[in-house]
Structure 1
Amino acid sequence: MTATGDARPSETYSYLGPAGTFTEAALKQVPEAQGKIWRSVNNVGEALADVTTGRSTAAMIAIENSIEGGVSAAQDALATVPGLRIVGEYLVPVNFVLVARPGTALADVRVVNAHPVAYAQTRGWLERHLPDHGHIPAASNVQAATSLFADDSNADAAVAPPGIVDQLDVDVLAEGIGDNPNAVTRFVLVSRSLRIPPRTGADKTSVIVELPDDEPGSLLAMLEQFSTRGVNMSLLESRPIGDELGRYRFVMDLDGHIEDERVADALLGLRRFSPGVIYLGSYPRADRREVEYHSKYDDEVYIEARDWLRGILSGEPEV
């Protein structure tokens, strides 16, 4: 259900609307959100502001696309808005249809309305079938179709999700227009909760790190914190910090949970390396694929090593 009015924070989830977006499809995968109030917002900033002010208990935002990579607006917001944690991730297959007002034929289309990300993922199809088309950016995939009925609309057609036909009286001019049929968008549920979801063996840990110094080898030293502990990175992207040219922060997804000894030890090393570490959360992987790593990085290996050192420091005789 959706709402625009006030509600108790425990009953409200924010998402990029309007109804029918891929973000709403991701929110439908959250069991805790079912039967609660869903608040449609216009952008990532508004969604996260709902969480930080307590208006919503959590917000669903897109964080990564298999075609376009990381969503920079979401990554930058998570790096600059304090007190946020990722508590879950969800995958949504992405496909698109080309829709128009009733009575419009494909040959009539000269201008297409589309969200910039959707346009990037359908541009090949559009250039093949509509080589002379123009593009008008839209705020969301659903808004692209909705705007066709505005009095000042200059678009003849829109790129939209397949479910748009359930909400608007539009004609579908073409189906499956995505350039990559395997395209997937990754969403994360963000809240203020400091409770870390229990580890499952199929987890991710997300962090954002700033290099402490701009000197040769700094990036390598940062990456070695993970390689020497057998921690794989499933995402590594750089984003400009913005205070001066050439300064970057790094957005990372690590395979594993903070309660895994190898991940915890890597984070300790990372913190010693750089004080600018933001822990965003550990949470179950959306694909539930168990994390694989060499047995020499098992929890028991780290525990035994600490016990060995403790014995030396306490003067216990070696057995």
Structure 2
Amino acid sequence: MPRIAYFGPRGTFTEQAAAAFDAHAELVPLPTIPLAVAAVRAGEADLACVPVENSVEGAVSATMDTLAGDAPVVAVAERVLPVRFSVLVRPGATFADVQTVASHPHALAQVQQWLGKHMANVTQLASTSTAAAAVGVLAGEFDAAVTAPVAAAHYPLAELATEVADESDAVTRFLVLSRPGALPEPTGADRTSVFVVVSHRPGELAAMLTELAMRGINVSRIESRPLRNRFGEYRFYLDFDGHIAEQRVGDALAALHRRSQRVRFLGSYPKADGVASTVTDGTGDTDYRESAAWLAALRRGEDA
């Protein structure tokens, strides 16, 4: 039974994502994203489940920065969950009793329209997670918490509202991380994640993307984060279709390694949506094998 550390406490969307990955796993809540990933790096957990991006608020910077630091970890799976919130209060409380409402900043940002309509004069406060806000309500620190629905099963609080969301189709993507080792087998519907530090010269970002484009690789996400010790320079996080076991992806990664200051491989894993990657003419594994055989014959002096 694997031990999965996750961004807690109990009652977060991350707990739901971890359980969706393995319903039989031992789930271990930790108070921050860095601590959940550190548990894997230290061998205290087999896996870690952390949020990486939200369709409304974008990338989760704490996850991106944690992936870049210390010993490498790699993603072995992703999960995507629809985001609908519950508003929890102490039993017996009504809308009129709520003077403060708390949640993680990403959660508060996703319910601003709802709060403006139903709690316009309420003070909004940030907490370290949605579930931490529920704990704060229990402790009397806040009057209400915007939480994942699963929190209602963990804490003796009442649901003041459910199915709360400004965007009806909002989702959050989560990564399941492990220490480097055997990678998931390619499925034909895979995603590869890396971060790259390019040379600080004109055109280097375009050149990096060209290495992928010329091999028919579709980039699905690109984000930048500043290098903390080099003001004005950035590391770029890339998600693109394909698996490192594919020749075109391996060839592209080798090219990025040759021309960049640093490349960290963050994993090749099945996409949550199961949509197969498109392989353009001339970029499939068979094409690479045939061209390699042709070149080898030329080098042997044969008529190819």
Could you tell me the TM-score, scaled by structure 1's length? Answer: 0.91
Partners of 2:53 and 2:131 lie apart in 1 by: 19
Indicate if the aligned counterparts of 2:247 and 2:284 stay in contact, CA closer than 8 A.
Answer: yes
- In structure 2, the residue matched to 1:227 is 213
Residue 159 (structure 1) aligns with: 146
Q: Which residue matches 1:40?
A: 29
Residue 258 in structure 1 maps to residue 247 in structure 2: no
Identity %: 39
Q: C-alpha displacement at 1:162, in angstroms? A: 1.7
Which of 275, 278, 301 is 1:292 aligned to? 278
Residue 110 of structure 1 deviates from its aligned partner by 2.2
CA RMSD of aligned residues (A): 1.5
1:59 aligns with 2:45: no
In the other structure, the counterpart of 2:20 is: 29
Deviation at 1:204, TM superposition (A): 0.5
Q: Which moved more, 1:202-211 or 1:21-30?
A: 21-30
Is 2:200 the partner of 1:209? no
Match of 2:94 in 1: 105
Other-structure match for 1:72: 61
* Total equivalences in the alignment: 304
Instruction: Check 1:254–1:240 CA distance in 2 against 1; reply closer, same or farther (3 A cut).
Output: same
Alignment partner of 1:145 out of 117, 134, 155: 134
What amino acid is aligned across from residue 73 of structure 2 in structure 1?
A: L
Structure 1 segments unaligned to the other structure (5+ residues): 1-9
- The answer as to whether partners of 2:104 and 2:133 remain within 8 angstroms in 1 is yes
Q: Please give the alpha-carbon distance, in whole angstroms, between the structure 2 residues aligned to 1:200 and 1:23.
A: 25
Measure the CA separation in 2 of the matches of 1:165 and 1:301: 54
| 1:20 is the counterpart of 2:11 | yes
The CA distance in 1 between the partners of 2:68 and 2:238, in whole Å, is 12
Give the letter for the 2:128 counterpart.
A
Task: Name the stretch that deviates more: 94-103 or 216-225.
Answer: 94-103
Take 2:191 and 2:152, find their aligned partners in 1: how far apart are those partners?
36
Q: Could you tell me which runs of 5 or more consecutive residues in structure 2 were left unpaired when the two chains were aligned.
A: none
Following superposition, the deviation at residue 108 of structure 1 comes to 2.8
1:95-149 deviations in Å (ceiling 9; x for gaps): 1022211222213322111111110111121122222221111121112122112
Provide the rounded CA distance (Å) in 2 between the counterparts of 1:118 and 1:309: 55
AA in 2 matched with 1:158? A
For each residue in 1:266-294, what CA deviation from the matched residue of structure 2 results, as whole angstroms up to 9, or x when unmatched? Answer: 11111111140001111111111111232
Any idea what SS the aligned residue of 2:45 has? coil
Segment drifting more, 124-133 vs 114-123 = 124-133
Q: Give the secondary structure class of the aligned counterpart of 2:110.
A: helix
> 2:235 aligns to what?
249
- Are 2:155 and 1:176 aligned? no
1:79 partner amino acid:
A
Q: Deviation at 1:40?
A: 1.2
